[in-house]
Amino acid sequence: MNVSDASVDFGHLVRRRPSAVVRPRSAAEIAGVVRSAAADGVPVAARGRGHSGYGQALTDGVVADMSTLAAVHEAGDDRIVVDAGAGWDAVLAAAWERGRTPPVLTDYLGLSVGGTLSAGGIGGTSFRHGLQTDTVLSLEVVTGDGVVRTCGPGDELFAAVLGGLGQCGIITRATLRLVPAPAHVRRQELDYDTVAAAALDQVRFISEDRFDFVQGQVRFGGSGRRVFLETYSEGGGDLPFLEFQHRLDAAEALLTGTGAWFHPHPWWNCFLPEPAAVDFLSTLVERLRPEDLGEAGCVLFYPVFTGRVRAPLVRLPAERIAFLVALLRFPRTTPRWRPGRSRRTAASTRRPASWVE
């Protein structure tokens, strides 16, 4: 990653050019960067996969490219130890070798562990397990004073870093809980006439614990608007579990191939209490037109029991059930701009990591 790459994020809506990009090889090197930058009054931002939508991870200071810290260190029956720059695809692959899986996986697996733990991390199993922040057993963190610390449940630092958007420390390593993974799942798509009926059924399904995965979608295509729930049940199905978890790989390949992945595409996410979410979704879907989201865009809605989300900085409504409502838009046109490659690097003996100017 060079400075040009680090100047924009996934949303391609905001640009902010950093003064430098570092490629740390260890938590100790990140700590050295933080101390050096703090002495000069320069902000530091950690960047995993840069998947934020509106410049949240951009800075005019120093960007720490976490892709150089992406190792899977240890996988057991009930836990896995990984660097913060590791992708959830790599975590799943290592866990799968032992017949295990993280309890909660995001739809798109090309996100970094540190990135989603700094934000929350929601998936179709969150109604049962909470967010990805609720599956963490311990963390290694570099704090603002440039010190490497370890923390776990009950520690103030642990509570501040999970969902803390990188403002309370840089996550460098995480120990994550694992659960047995099914070999196959029984996947279903349930169609509805209205989004209100779909959302109300979601609430019923999670309250009855009827399925192991529940997600709502609205898509617009050549046949018009489609409202449906995607569910799966573990055991007895014929769809391989890994195939389901990688279901977005083909879409990513198509969108990167056409260039839409690199074009500005605003995404919007919001947690709403159940009654307000149903009303909002109903009004929203009636007003949306196909061109508002693009052919690859969609509306997603996930229910979650708020009492199962423990990270205090992940702010949720006070009601028992909340919905994450997401509007995902992709453009139709191919962009003029694409991420470039690093053209030159410079090393500094004063700074312990590799820097790109």
Residues noted as catalytic: 51, 107, 234
Residue 140's DSSP bridge partners are: 150, 173
Query: Can you read off the two tokens belonging to residue 78?
Result: 């009930």
> For 94, left (φ over 0), alpha (ψ -120 to 50), or beta?
alpha
Residue 148's DSSP bridge partners are: 142
Query: Can you read off the two tokens belonging to residue 54?
Result: 């509106």
Query: Which residues are within 8 A (CB) of 41 and not within 5 positions of it... i.e. 6 or more apart?
Result: none
Report the amino acid identity of residue 38: A
> For 165, left (φ over 0), alpha (ψ -120 to 50), or beta?
left
Cβ–Cβ < 8 Å for 48, 90: no
Backbone angles phi, psi at 7, to 5 degrees: -90, -5
Backbone angles phi, psi at 43, to 5 degrees: -70, 155
Query: Which residues are within 8 A (CB) of 291 and not within 5 positions of it... i.e. 6 or more apart?
Result: none
Report the amino acid identity of residue 91: V
Query: Can you read off the two tokens belonging to residue 250?
Result: 């083909």
Total Cβ atoms within 10 A of residue 77:
12
Beta strands in 182-305 (DSSP E): 184-192, 213-221, 224-234, 239-240, 267-273, 298-305
